[in-house]
Every structure is written in C-alpha cells, then in structure tokens.
Structure 1
C-alpha cells in the first residue's frame, strides 16, 4: 500500500527539502491550545493612586479598567525624577502589562506610610518582559498606567505609583507548552545529524505550504526504526519538539485543506470563534498567491454569519478569493491587502457587504477577551476599509 506524504521539513537557511514523511507524531496532541490564562491577585504595596485607580477606590469610577501597565520607576543609578521619554531598552525590559484588571480591595499600607495597599485581579500578558514574569526587575518602585477602553479606543492614563507589587513575579505554567518529542512517520529515506527546519504541509497536488514560526523543527535525530506504514519506509525519532503543537480535533481542518480546501463557502459558519481563528490561520498557510484580480472586479461579502471578529476575516477572505480564501487575519494584514494589494484584489476594488446589519449588531464596543484589547467594531472595520480605498457598499 502506498501512503501519501503529508509533511516536509525545509532547511531554514536554504529552503531545500530535508525529508518528507507521511505523518508526525507529536504535532497534534490531545490538549486545547492556547491554555486559558490564570487569573491572579496582585497587591500594589504602599500605593499613591491617581486617575482611574483612585476613582475605582473612592467609588467615583468603575472598579474594572481593562489593561494596566506597570513601569519600573527608575533603575539604580538613575535619578528617581528622570523618566526616559524614548522607548529605550531599559524601559521596555522593566515594563509589564496586566490584562482584564479590576480592583477587588484596598486598606492602609502595612508600612505605616499613610499610603494604600491595593488588591487587583487580572492576569499577566504572557509574552511580556522580566524573564517571563519570574524575576522582578532591578527598579525602585513602579509607575502605574491604566488603558482606558472608552468609546472602543485605548488611551494610556496615569494611575499613580507604588513601592512594590506582590504576586506578580513568579513561575507560571506555559500558556502554550511545547509538544512531546517528535517522530517522523513513514519516511522514504533515513535522516541523521542536527538541523533547523521549517515545517511545510504537503497537499495532494504536491504543493508545500510552510506553517510558520510556531511549528518550526529544531533538533537532532535520536534513532531510526522500520516503519509499520511500509517495508521500504522508516520512522525517524527526534529530540525536537513543536513550540506550538495543534490540538487533535483540529486535524480534520488540515486534512480538508490538504485534499484541496473547502469546496463551498461558509463551511466555517458552524464553528465557534476559536475554531474560526484556526480556519483563518489554515487559509493563510494555504493561500494561493495568485495575481490580484483586475481593477473593476466586484467582491461580494456574505455577511449572514459575521458575528465576531474572526468571522469577518473568514467572510472577507471568501468574498475576495473564494471558498477557504484569505484576505488577512488581523488589522495589519487587512490594511496591507486592501491598500497595497497582493491579497487577491487590486487596491481600490469595490465590495458589496450583504446582510451587513448582522455585523453591526454583533461587532459592538466592549472589551475583547480573545485579543485582550478594546473590541474592533463594525464601524471600525467600515472605516478601515474605506480609508484604504475600498469602495464599500453596505446592504
């Protein structure tokens, strides 16, 4: 029996094929990723609150204020009154962002300073600084800033300062822990030595689509064994792990794209938002890179199922490039494709957004607990598209 080759390792430096294989044990795992963040309690010690933090304590403002930035007041040797106005390395490395934060309590500071100890609940942005949040930076006190989310926009507002922060710097579980050691199953030749490789998904037509940084393979061959997939095939065991493995129940999505992609539009509509995000990601990996359609081409966006941010990208991808098409997955790529092209549509194209009232109803101001930022609204998307030259008609 002949088994299809589904995956390919490409040398990161040259792009040359290192090896093809039928499957990869350790790429799909029985977990859900990324893991939901842990909500934690932090205490601002000897704090002098101001602005929205003071309002949360005295009852004149809400106790919830979205995101919260703590910035090292100064490093030893720098005057305490001096704040670097540029985005210097020291400032960046001594800053932490807390997400979805609310005030849950306060009391007089235990040090007798006349200031307050203030309890917050929220969680730390996992890709921020200070050795992954495990080690407190070498600073003397912290400046505090709240990110206002009023009217759907973000604005940094000073919120006072504190001597120290309890509960922030400690070891945490990985939000997206790496997978187990990999085994390349059903390889047609042996492999040895060490390598740094990009992983590519091979479709039935033989085209290979690189997966991205989170699925790179860096390591060495540990052992080789005969494969149960065929007498002339081998399995290659590695000490490498996938940095961001995929969940087993996402495998049918990749199998569909391997077989040629979605055969009709709106197959994503029955998915929840997390899986719609994965749909857009798969569409990005498998995009065709065909020339932009001629000027004057009209795209029709089916808006019946645009009930969240990721659904919009599923729908606009299919409006421009057909079932399973991609036209960006975030605001950066939406702008790049609409304003500069190379996404399937010549800039200045006309798009008719059918059933736009669905998105107007669902994409409203608020706090988005997927991006941990103010929600992107229907009005935002309309403004971004029109500012980038799209001739948008709402129906």
Structure 2
C-alpha cells in the first residue's frame, strides 16, 4: 500500500483514504476531524422503577439487557448504556440500540441486567427515538491528494465527487496498521491548492466514542511494550482497548504443537480482561486471541499463534473464578463465564491448569 509523505518533510500521515474496489489511494493526511464523537443514542424512560441497589452508577455496562416480563418475548440489547437521570419513580437510560429493539408494540414490565447483576425492574417504559440528524462530516486536514483525487476535484461533478466504497486506514506513528473504517464518502467541500482540507459526508460512519480517544492516543505511539498496560482501566475502557487490539490484530505463525503458555490472571476481573490477558499470553503485549467465545473458537483453529495440542498455566485463577463465575445470559439465567471459557479452550486442544 502506498504511504505518502507530507511535502514539508514531516513524518507520514496517520490516515490514508483508499478505494476499496481498485486499491488506489485517494490521499494521506496527519489529522481527521470528526473521527471521534458521540454516536447517536437511544433513550428509554422506565416508569415504576424498582432498583436492586440503592444507587446506580452512571455507566451501567457495555451490554445491558432489557428483559420483558412475558417469557414469550425476546430480550433486547442496549450497548454502552448510561443512567441519564433517576427520579423517585422512574429511570432514564441511554445507549446504543441494537438492530432489533424492543418487541413490536410492547411497552409493559421489564427487568434490566448488565450481564452480571440485576439492576432493577419497571412496570412500563417509553422508548424515545432520537431525531434523524445529518451525520457530521469527516474533514481530512492537510491531505496529500493523489493524481486521481486531483482529477476528481477538477471535474467537480456529483459523480466525480462520489468516491464509492472507501477505507480510511489508520496507522500508528511508526506506520503500522492500527484500525480501518469502511466509508461510502462523498466530497462536499475542499480547500487548498497543494495540501487539501477535504470534507467528506459519510452517512454510514459511526464515530469512535470520545471516551476511547485517550487510549487511541496511547496506541498512536505504538503497541504496548509490556503486558498488562490495560490492567488499571475500568471495564468500559478495557472494552475500548480490546477493540483496538481486535482492530490491529494480524495472523501469527502458528507455534508447533505442545507449546506451553502462561496466563497472568491477576487482573481478570471482567470479560474483556480475560481476552486481553489471554491474547498477551499467546501473542505477547497487545496480542489478540479472541474477543468473544466465537472468535476464540476461530483463533484455536489456527492462524493466530496456536497449534493444538498445547498447555496453558493459568496463574491466579481465583480472581477470574470470583468475578466471572456468576454472570447472566441475555434472558437472565445464571451463566458461568469461566466454565464456558475453559470448555472452549479444552475443545480447541488447549489443556488448562488452574493455579
């Protein structure tokens, strides 16, 4: 992939806009305005709220389930959920609605849990759908345009300014891939004769949440040099760290069968902590080895540094046993995440010893 250099001799830009179909580069730049932001959130007001605890935290969890009292109806998911306001008889939740949303026409009693504990229940709810708003533009600052892009800008027609499917490739300051965002961008405006400020309208783009920005800034300097750099983060930021690990993951040469891994379990106090620790046990600092049970199954099949059979010494397993053994399914039934993970590892040919 071509990686352009700024004309003033500065280091290469972090961002490259590439045509998905043909692979040619539209341009490279050091800064993108609009990459970070606050995604559009849905709002629920729960009436007759009866909490399970005296006071709810502001952030309720990365996956909060709303479970109808009618067992014939499926629960639905609210991601990155927050408690916006709490009144004596109601609670306002905001979060990212899943594609399904609540069962059609249902507004009756629900119980709410975050995958680990019940948060409370209500007699009825109202879903407030946010107004449709135009997606904020992405502005590629000081872009070094390719010849193809200059031709498109010189034409200036609607067809020429529609770039079709494109990928915004994000690299760290050493030029290593960090993340990718698939866009369907249309050029709305541009300024500058040589280095261009290019404004794109990309309706399908979801900005990276603002709370993840400090973690991205850390990763822009390069991947972590030592294991456990994520250990001091709370669950919300561990999720964001895991997202970056997943984004930059690449296939590793598989080690020969019989390899012995050691898992540092001291900081496995939540589900993202498990996958971050496991990824580093297999592939070193910042390493990836799954981010959910299905992804873990794929990694165990090969191509990510592992060949079965292998062994894993899980040190300080009591921490995970304390925090992962009493989870909840989407419907609210008890779930042992530790036992589930051990089953997946065993089926994939990794023999685990808990220490």
Q: How high is the TM-score relative to the length of structure 2?
A: 0.70
| Matched residue, 2:171 | 202
Say whether residues 1:394 and 2:351 are aligned partners.
no
Do the aligned residues in 2 keep the contact of 1:209 with 1:285 (CA within 8 Å)? yes
Pairing of 1:68-217 with structure 2 (within 5 A) = 68=68, 97-98=75-76, 126-129=97-100, 136=104, 171-173=128-130, 180-189=136-145, 191=149, 192=152, 193-195=161-163, 196-211=165-180, 215-217=181-183
Say whether residues 1:25 and 2:33 are aligned partners.
yes
**1:135-168 residue CA offsets vs partner (Å, 9 max, x unmatched):** 957xxxx8x9x99x9xx9xxxxxxxxxxxx9856
Do the aligned residues in 2 keep the contact of 1:292 with 1:345 (CA within 8 Å)? yes
Say whether residues 1:225 and 2:191 are aligned partners.
yes
Cα deviation for residue 183 of structure 1 reads 0.6
Cα deviation for residue 34 of structure 1 reads 8.1
| 2: CA distance, partners of 1:34 / 1:306 | 31
Do the aligned residues in 1 keep the contact of 2:66 with 2:75 (CA within 8 Å)? no
Structure 1 pair 349–194 and aligned structure 2 pair: CA distance change class (3 A): same
| Matched residue, 2:290 | 328
| 2: CA distance, partners of 1:344 / 1:303 | 20
* Number of residue-to-residue matches in the alignment: 298
Do the aligned residues in 1 keep the contact of 2:142 with 2:195 (CA within 8 Å)? yes
| 2: CA distance, partners of 1:329 / 1:373 | 22
Q: Which of 296, 303, 310 lines up with 1:349 in the alignment?
A: 310
Cα deviation for residue 302 of structure 1 reads 0.4
Cα deviation for residue 363 of structure 1 reads 1.2
| 2: CA distance, partners of 1:354 / 1:36 | 41
Question: Which has the greater radius of gyration?
Answer: 1
| 2: CA distance, partners of 1:3 / 1:201 | 14
Do the aligned residues in 1 keep the contact of 2:245 with 2:286 (CA within 8 Å)? yes
Cα deviation for residue 374 of structure 1 reads 5.5
Unaligned 5+ segments in structure 1 are 43-64, 73-94, 101-119, 153-164
Q: What's the secondary structure of 1:268's corresponding residue?
A: coil
Say whether residues 1:244 and 2:206 are aligned partners.
yes
**1:73-103 residue CA offsets vs partner (Å, 9 max, x unmatched):** xxxxxxxxxxxxxxxxxxxxxx763469xxx
Bigger drift between 360-369 and 186-195 goes to 360-369
| 2: CA distance, partners of 1:322 / 1:305 | 16
Q: What's the secondary structure of 1:224's corresponding residue?
A: strand
| 1: CA distance, partners of 2:43 / 2:277 | 29
| 1: CA distance, partners of 2:295 / 2:260 | 20
Cα deviation for residue 41 of structure 1 reads 4.5
| 1: CA distance, partners of 2:24 / 2:71 | 45
Q: How high is the TM-score relative to the length of structure 1?
A: 0.63
Cα deviation for residue 375 of structure 1 reads 5.1
Cα deviation for residue 310 of structure 1 reads 0.7
| Matched residue, 1:302 | 264
Cα deviation for residue 66 of structure 1 reads 6.6
| 2: CA distance, partners of 1:305 / 1:205 | 29
| 1: CA distance, partners of 2:135 / 2:261 | 41
| 1: CA distance, partners of 2:134 / 2:309 | 43
| 1: CA distance, partners of 2:71 / 2:294 | 27
| 2: CA distance, partners of 1:19 / 1:270 | 37
| Matched residue, 2:276 | 314
Structure 1 pair 97–290 and aligned structure 2 pair: CA distance change class (3 A): same
Do the aligned residues in 2 keep the contact of 1:10 with 1:18 (CA within 8 Å)? yes
| 2: CA distance, partners of 1:178 / 1:279 | 29
Structure 1 pair 271–188 and aligned structure 2 pair: CA distance change class (3 A): same
RMSD value, Cα? 4.0
**1:274-323 residue CA offsets vs partner (Å, 9 max, x unmatched):** 11111111011112322112222211110000000110011001000000
